[in-house]
Amino acid sequence: MIDPDAEIVRRAGAGDAHAAEALVRKHLPKMVGLARRMLNDGAEAEDVAQEVFLRAWREAPRWRPGAAKFETWMHRVALNLCYDRMRRRREKVDPDAGLLVADPAPLASDAWLAQQRAARVQAALSALPERQCAAITLVHFQDMTNIAAAEALEISVEALESLLARGRRAIKAALADVAQDLIGDADGASRG
């Protein structure tokens, strides 16, 4: 297995600040994006990404390429940190906390509807079991292949595909009324 980050990780592990900076520049958006999708909280996502990179610096001097890509390992660390945070807040989360409330300031109706729909999609994603949420996030929002996502989740590709199928069905069911609204909007627009 060829790891495109092997050399930069080796240099970062040897104390090369430019290599460490390059590693952050390359992977920070992915780590924040993954955590944001999993946790639905920008501040927590940034905290998770920071912790991922702290662990990366500690691991870089000992990293031995070959078993997995460094990026896959980073995704695994990020997922584990997200799982930990999700478990800690599970008891104290209000089920409606993930939904956005309309701003009382005048908004264009289309922008408001788009915001509400995005909130519903995020709420449906957040309501999934952890592993289904992680699978959907890795494949659909992190643009990982099924093989890479399966590695990050430490499962087989078949198990990943099963998680994806169950997650997609659950999201589709949770958003059935949104889909009906979209169809209704399109019908109304074509008649109007």
CATH tag, 96-192: 1.10.10.10
Count Cβ atoms below 10 Å from residue 176 Cβ, excluding itself: 10
The helix or strand, by DSSP H or E, that contains position 145, with its residue range, turns out to be: none
Distance of alpha carbon 50 from alpha carbon 142, whole angstroms: 18
pLDDT at position 190: 46
pLDDT at 191: 45
- To the nearest 10 degrees (0 to 180), the angle between helices 176-191 and 157-174 is 60
Per CATH, the number for 1-93 is 1.10.1740.10
CB 119 within 8 A of CB 111: no
pLDDT tens digits for 99-156?
A: 554 444 444 556 666 777 778 888 888 899 999 999 999 998 888 999 999 999 999 9
Question: Which segment, 9-13, 25-29, 94-98, 117-121, is predicted with the most confidence on average?
Answer: 25-29
What gap in Å lies between CA 164 and CA 150, rounded to an integer?
11
Instruction: State pLDDT tens for residues 83-99.
Output: 999 888 775 645 555 55
Q: Where are the domains of the chain?
A: 1-93, 96-192
125: how many CB neighbours lie within 10 A of its CB? Answer: 22
